[in-house]
Amino acid sequence: MRGERRQRSHGGWLKKTVLGVSLAMLAPLGISVAATPAAHAAFDPAGFDFWVDSAEMGPIKTRVFRAADGNTSRVVYALDGMRATQVLNGWENDTNVVGALTAANINVVMPVGGESSFYADWAEPSSILGISGSSSGSGGSSSGSSSGSGAFQMFSGGPGKSYRYTWETFLTQDLRNALRDRLGFQSVRNGVFGLSMGGSAALTLAAYHPDQFSFAGSFSGYLNISAPGMREAIRLAMVDAGGYNVDSMAPPWGSQWLRMDPFVFAPRLIANNTRLWVSAASAIPSGGDVTGVMSVIQGMPLEALALVNTRAFQVRMATLGAGNVTFDFPATGVHNWRNWEAEVHRMIPDLSNNIG
């Protein structure tokens, strides 16, 4: 397929062994969706807070970084992962991608919040056994626990519990229009990319809003969520990441769930001629990935699952004759910010050529 990058071999037996072990570990460990943070960026004073009201979610903060040349026509949205906090977007907190993007004369829009949301319009506020969150407002935890203690937040209030998540509407209407009206940003031919949960969401947004998004990037995304076992894997991950209920997001196997599955809506991306950059690593740790035992224990199975999903999406696109996608499968790497940061740098030329 045009633009595909070939993964270097580390020995077929090794890859199969790592993948098999990782998937076997997924059931007990897959609930831990905490990626190993790079922890070298944090707050970037070059950005500014941009508050926009959402009809159902209240005031939502977005961080905006202006392109180096001051243009308003080249815009990319950077979506966070499942542990999105109410303070900063992970791309700002855990990476240094902003400098490279703005130097490429791209305005960067980083929505803040949306823990476990998949940036979707949910069917209802998250609740367990019909019991919804007890408190109001847009507060809540900044992160679920990597040990599984996010389950203790299942009956708390806060984002997506005291109200219904409507992230797709916010990103494609409220925020889009506010950026246009208040900052003069072009609202068509934008780009969008994300990691893990955000990678799946980026493709969904591009599929259903092709006038807004001409480019979409997914890093370690879950691109075949209707595959056997995926809903339950996501269920466990969402419980751990803040105590959310996947059934409140979309009923099991209904039209709303299928609408969120990139494997299902792949024909839309081809018909729209959306330029795509799709990546997942091998789940084989590199030297830089081994920052502690948990960085490997957590990162390997999550990346292995993302790789299986992404390979399935690759086959689906090939079967449909897609020519609008670049696949990148690094020979080493687990589920962490270090690898996603490197992927952004590889993606920037393609992004730059396909927005504005």
Q: What is the mean pLDDT of the chain?
A: 84
What sign results for the dihedral spanned by CA atoms 202, 99, 71, 352?
negative
Q: Which residue has the higher pLDDT, 140 or 58?
A: 58
Instruction: Read off the pLDDT of each residue in 177-188 and give the average, rounded to a whole number.
Output: 98
Percent of the chain at pLDDT above 90? 70
- pLDDT at residue 314, as a whole number: 98
pLDDT in tens, 198-252: 999 999 999 999 999 999 999 999 999 999 999 999 999 999 899 999 999 999 9
Reported CATH class of domain 12-353? alpha beta
Which residue(s) pair with 190 in the sheet? 213
Contact 22, 300 (CB under 8 A): yes
- Residue 196 known to be catalytic: yes
List all residues 6 or more positions away from 256 whose beta carbon is below 8 Å from its beta carbon.
123, 250
Instruction: Read off the pLDDT of each residue in 27-48 and give the average, rounded to a whole number.
Output: 57
Maximal C-alpha separation, the chain: 56
Radius of gyration of the chain (CA): 19
> How many H-runs (helices) and E-runs (strands) does the chain carry?
12, 10
The single residue of 115, 209, 335, 343 carrying the catalytic annotation is: 335
Percent of the chain at pLDDT above 70? 78
- Residue 218 known to be catalytic: no
- Quote the CA–CA distance of 5 and 25 in Å, as a whole number: 28
Contact 248, 297 (CB under 8 A): no
| Confidence check: pLDDT of 3 > 70 | no
The model's pTM is 0.85
Domain extents in the chain:
12-353
- Quote the CA–CA distance of 56 and 102 in Å, as a whole number: 32
Phi (first) and psi of residue 262, to 5 degrees: -55, -35
| CB atoms inside a 10 Å sphere around CB 2 | 8
| Confidence check: pLDDT of 4 > 70 | no
pLDDT level of residue 89 (50, 70, 90 thresholds): very high
- pLDDT at residue 332, as a whole number: 85
- pLDDT at residue 139, as a whole number: 38
Most confident of 28-32, 156-160, 278-282: 278-282
- pLDDT at residue 257, as a whole number: 97
- Quote the CA–CA distance of 355 and 275 in Å, as a whole number: 9
- Residue 115 known to be catalytic: no
pLDDT in tens, 44-83: 999 999 999 999 999 999 999 999 999 999 999 999 999 9
| Confidence check: pLDDT of 333 > 90 | no
Annotate 186-201 with DSSP letters as a single string.
Answer: --SSEEEEEETHHHHH
| Three-class SS state of 343 | helix
pLDDT level of residue 157 (50, 70, 90 thresholds): confident
The single residue of 92, 303, 341, 343 carrying the catalytic annotation is: 303
- Which residue do the tokens 């009206």 mark? 181
The single residue of 32, 117, 196, 218 carrying the catalytic annotation is: 196
Instruction: Read off the pLDDT of each residue in 285-310 and give the average, rounded to a whole number.
Output: 73
pLDDT level of residue 35 (50, 70, 90 thresholds): very low
pLDDT level of residue 22 (50, 70, 90 thresholds): very low
Annotate 201-226 with DSSP letters as a single string.
Answer: HHHHHHHH-TTTEEEEEEES----TT
Instruction: Read off the pLDDT of each residue in 144-162 and give the average, rounded to a whole number.
Output: 67
pLDDT level of residue 37 (50, 70, 90 thresholds): very low
